[in-house]
Chains A and B, each alone.
Chain A
Amino acid sequence: MTYLFNTPDQKREMLRTIGAESVDELFDQVPADCRLSGPLQVPPALTEVDLEREVLALAGQNVAGGRRVCLMGGGVYDHFVPAAVDEVVSRGEFYTAYTPYQAEASQGSLQAFFEYQSLICRLTGMDVSNASLYEAGTAVSEAAFMAMRVTGRHDRVVVLGSVHPEYREVLKSYLSNLRCELVVLPVPDGTADLASVKKALDDKTACLIFQHPNFFGCLEEPEELAKLARSVGALSIVAFDPISLGLLRRPGDYGADVAVAEGQSLGIPMQYGGPFLGIFACREEFVRKMPGRLVGRTTDRLGRPCYVLTLQAREQHIRREKATSNICTNQGLLALRATAYLSLVGPQGLKEAAELCCRKAHYAAERLTRISGVKLAFDRPFFKEFALRCSGGTEAILSKARQARVDLGPALSRFGKSIPPSLQDTILVAVTEKRTKQEIDELAAAMGD
């Protein structure tokens, strides 16, 4: 095997040093009745040549990589990834390094993560960012747990029905063996009704969780929602779209206590759902209650500036069952992708990307709603994604689009009981800066608008 070194004569020499007769003798501590008697029943070994042939064939069975135009949304988007992002994360010194516990041997990763935290703070207007969580669903859950620690309220978490159904499902699982009640507020009109939100919040509520732009693409009233949470002493937790902040007000501007996001839009390919990037930023006063790693700047014994993992007393390897989270492995390389992406696009690029998404999405919505039986599900302002009701059923529209070599969706029926029955005839459509007027026109024409 190409990855091993020990030749038969070296093995003999090593065994002699150890004082063992055979490699098998080294496994003496494994009791005989724990041993596997025969070989593992796994497929036979492949050379690199054969492996490549087989995987190329399997990859070719997927409809991906430009075979159809992607107008799909639902929390993962076909945004442009500059080549320079791929180059940065292809550096072996980054991707084959471990968690930077040994600061002297990891200043490269540490500085990059410090820059990541700095960029996320500037992007969101929040005080502090950690160095990444798994993805948005767990980031929402971690935020809820932090809210319980901060407020001392462990009984009630309120989440809007316009939050991504999978974020809510993750939260439900995370809370499943705890006494905390999870209240999901229905949002029949596409955005929250402030009066019913107000009614749902009380002095036992740890947090109010909302998404803006929300799962349906619509813009909520984030400032009002944050105020309502604050008025009962609960934390406001917003799940935002990073690209939208080229255009929309920042979570820090409208008073959110915690801002979390799916960072996939920031230079991370869709890769069937992961690995992605859980962004987690919050107000300074919560810093010692935050989940996840933090990189801080300090000086070394000669006074030279340097970076270290800090406030580790929050973490599982120190605090064990009293840790703020169980997270150990995080999404470092994806945080590096986001850092390179934000460095490349800069303020102007982010603004342009956001505006392009917004303009093209509105153009697409206008064209697609000319199709008979298709209309916007909600009459609300939206950013880059919108929900379409298809009176003839979603499958007819989706398959017609596929024939025109375009993927729309997902159909909300995919999310089963996490979506109200009234929305089972609804699909999502998302438009990124990559899409062209021609693609949208061709789709609309093929669908008979």
Chain B
Amino acid sequence: MRNLLASKPLFELAHPGRRGCTFPASDVPERPMESLIPQSQLCSSAPELPELAEPDVIRHFVNLSTLNMSVDTHFYPLGSCTMKYNPKRHERLSRLPGLVDLHPYQIDEAAQGMLAILFEMQQMLAEISGLPAVSLHPAAGAQGELTALLVAAAYFREKGERRTKVLFPASAHGTNPASAALAGFDCVQLKGSAQGLVDLEELKSHLDQTAAVFMITNPNTLGLFEPEIERVARLLHDVGGLVYIDGANMNAILGIARPGDFGGDMMHFNVHKTFTGPHGAGGPGAGPIAVREFLAAYLPAPVVTRLGLPSEKPTYRLSAPAKSIGRMRTFFGNVGILLRGYLYLRTLGADGLKAVSENAVLNANYLMTKLSDVLPTPHGRRCMHEFVASARALQKEHGISAMDIAKRLLDYGFHAPTVYFPLVVPEAMMMEPTETESKETLDAFADAIHKIVTEDPVSLHEAPHSTLVSRPDDVQAARKPILKWEPSAS
């Protein structure tokens, strides 16, 4: 069934003289190009792009698409990634010409509908986070982290405090330390307790006048709600530091608990996770941040403000907060993704949001229980929206690794869970089923894992067997990188 011809490299499908797009002839008075642009600036020949007809291009990319697993086609229980269903109404509505063809420098008067949407999005995120000031500006979660850390730096600078340390648990996402380093802070990694939680004594030992921010994911990357989060926050606040909540796991606590209420001073949302902006095979995302009132003046520009009395018809304006750290990217933000998040929130309402988290947590606990006999979860009997199981016993007794199971699952028609993260669990398998999966799917997935663990380990080491390719040679890829198509290499 596979169309081997159409999925050949693009460059091998090309044929001189083919066109996939033509433009109208020029209708303005003809002048020699050299009279418009100096000869020395002109290229001697057009770029060496492949020449293809429109049907070539469509057939090529549609065939490539079929080589992917995706949420539309498969169960995709990647822990930490919240691979939930992406509603189709979002795609239709976010492509309305009045939204998608709007120039970012259009004057505010001519963008009132868009600004109304973005203002309401700010309001809704403030309510969900329990933090009153929101910036929709950051392009992704990691940029939200960096933005918030620069907000914190500006705040401390103004107070005349020199705080150099950003702290985070060993189970933190890699972006936390990477953002802290980029923002110019020293990184302090905490080991945490045997239960996979913040160790208060360890934390205390690092807290002093140089502590700027403690970054913590809550629920954490083990899928556990930090029971001492309020004490953690108090400890930080007592030394004048701030608490940053990495909102990657917000899918567990929508309408249940709010970062602002449990001690967070700043946080980011991953709109592409929690609020179902599609992941797009790697992006785009949107990483809005929410902060406490005393940090609002430092937020990046622009933010949307509402003018006029509540009784009047509102007008909306873009503005810069008083002591803004400035821009973190060009233009307003990843509006296309923010729109999808807005549409999701408007569809769900308060009850719907709470139902999301309830069902996400129910599904995760159900799957964890179904797998507990073969893939135990070292950190506790219950989880929030995700859990981290360990294949250590299987590895020791049968030589079956987390990677083997992950790869073999592909043969059974399931995407693999996240493996080998967080680093604190040996042979980690991090599973996040999300609320948009049925019991039938979870049962079938659990059945597949039960079958896999009885299979011949030698064969498992070579899994997957049914996919187009199996176990790519990463070492070869990194040792002699081939990063572009070249005629000789084909």
Contact = CB atoms under 8 A, between A and B. Distances in A.
Q: Do A and B bind each other?
A: yes
Interface in A130-149: 131-132, 134-138, 145
Contacts of A363: 28-29
Contacts of A436: 27
A29 B26 contact: no
Contacts of A145: 182
Interface stretch (A114-122, A193-201, A227-235, A371-379): A114-122
A24 B279 CA distance: 30
A302 B435 contact: no
Given A5-B437, A11-B362, A102-B410, A329 B283 contact: yes
A277 to B, nearest CB: 9
B448 interface: no
B46 interface: yes
B70 A117 contact: no
B93 A41 contact: no
B36 interface: yes
B330 A176 contact: no
Given A104-B407, A248-B41, A358-B33, A58 B281 contact: no
B257 A321 contact: no
B483 A273 contact: no
B481 A311 contact: yes
B160 interface: no
B316 to A, nearest CB: 10
Contacts of A407: 103, 106, 110
A299 B330 contact: no
B281 A333 contact: yes
A129 B334 CA distance: 22
B216 to A, nearest CB: 13
A448 interface: no
Q: Which of A39, A95, A102, A135 has the most CB of B within 10 A?
A: A102
A32 B67 CA distance: 47
A123 B262 CA distance: 51
B400 to A, nearest CB: 18
Nearest to B106: A63
Contacts of A255: none
Contact of A104 (B331, B468, B474, B484): B468
Contacts of B206: none
A176 B282 contact: no
A338 B120 CA distance: 32
B229 A34 contact: yes
B322 to A, nearest CB: 14
Contacts of B120: 43
A58 B43 CA distance: 45
A131 B281 CA distance: 11
A359 interface: yes
A273 B353 contact: no
A3 B435 contact: yes
Contacts of B437: 5
B331 A76 contact: yes
Nearest to B320: A416
A369 B350 CA distance: 56
B382 A29 contact: yes
B269 interface: no
Contacts of A410: 105
A396 interface: no
A344 B485 contact: no
Contacts of B380: 29
Contacts, number: 695
A308 B473 CA distance: 9
A421 interface: no
A105 B326 contact: no
Interface string B3-35: 000010111000000111111101111110100
Contact of B97 (A64, A249, A272): A64
Interface in A8-30: 10-11, 13-15, 17-20, 23, 26-30
Given A98-B81, A247-B42, A274 B106 contact: no
Contact of A10 (B23, B179, B439, B481): B439
Contact of A326 (B91, B178, B421): B178
Contacts of B153: 176-177
Interface stretch (B139-147, B234-242, B391-399): B139-147
A60 B261 contact: no
Contact of B175 (A23, A328, A440): A328
Contacts of B346: 43, 45-46, 51, 54
B103 A64 contact: yes
Contacts of A339: 10, 61
B37 A219 contact: yes
A186 interface: no
Interface in B31-78: 31, 33, 36-38, 41-43, 46-52, 54, 56-58, 60-62, 64-74, 76, 78
A437 B28 contact: yes
B65 A274 contact: no
Nearest to B117: A58
A72 B365 contact: no
B194 interface: no
B484 A329 contact: no
Contact of A219 (B38, B70, B358): B38
Contacts of B330: 75, 135-137, 164, 166-167, 170, 262, 273-274, 276
B285 A31 contact: no
B190 interface: no
Given A84-B20, A98-B81, A349-B22, A296 B36 contact: no
A381 B256 CA distance: 60
A170 B327 contact: yes
Contacts of A59: 96-99, 113
Q: Which of A2, A63, A112 has the most CB of B within 10 A?
A: A63
Contacts of A109: 64, 68, 281-282
Contacts of A318: 174
A320 B174 contact: yes
B193 interface: no
Contacts of A42: 124, 127-128, 345, 349-350, 353
Contacts of B23: 80, 349, 352-353, 356, 433
Interface in A158-180: 164, 166-167, 169-170, 172-174, 176-178
B48 A122 contact: yes
B290 interface: no
Contacts of A93: 65-66, 68-70, 72-73
B321 interface: no
B284 A274 contact: yes
Contacts of A66: 97, 101
CB-based closest 3 A-B pairs: A273-B331, A65-B97, A45-B349
Given A61-B113, A274-B284, A319-B178, 4 more contacts: A99-B281, A107-B468, A121-B484, A298-B472
8 contacts: A5-B359, A17-B370, A26-B362, A102-B69, A104-B470, A249-B42, A326-B181, A381-B37
